[in-house]
Amino acid sequence: MPGEEQISTPLFVATCQSCGLQFDWRLSNKDFLHETTFHWEEYMAPSETWDHDHCAMCWQTFMEAELPGVQQAGYVGYTEEEVWWICQQCFEDLREEMGWQVEIQEEPPTQS
Ligand SMILES: [Zn+2]
Ligand SMILES: [Zn+2]
């Protein structure tokens, strides 16, 4: 289980050494992601300094680089201002519960 060997941090909190993002395992309430539509995407780093993201549910890392325990693709969903990545495992486990939809994206979405 992630975090169990890290005695220096509280059991339920993990901090990313790269981006400083804190993930609290107790904050499992992701109601704002209910009914969100996702699409499958290869991970592309937004910039040179922002080279990774984390799964919103389990905190797994997404990167372009092929490293152990790192995902190179996942489900991407947009809420009003944020982009969320969900790993395949979490997506499959939580899809029904969260009412997630999958968008088959063949062309760029048109602005309305
Ligand atoms: Zn990070
Ligand atoms: Zn996950």
Distance 111 CA to ligand 1 centre (A): 31
Write out pLDDT tens, residues 58-91.
Answer: 999 999 999 998 999 999 999 888 899 999 999 9
What letter represents residue 16's amino acid?
C
Residue whose C-alpha is closest to residue 38's, from 66, 52, 98: 98
Neighbours of ion ligand 2 (CB under 5 A): 55, 57-58, 60, 87, 90
**Euclidean distance between CA atoms 83 and 97, whole angstroms:** 20
- Extract the tokens encoding 31: 């109601």
Write out pLDDT tens, residues 16-58.
Answer: 988 998 887 766 667 889 999 999 999 999 898 999 999 999 9
Residue whose C-alpha is closest to residue 52's, from 96, 9, 20: 20
| pLDDT above 90 for 13 | no
Distance 30 CA to ligand 1 centre (A): 19
pTM reported for the whole predicted model: 0.77
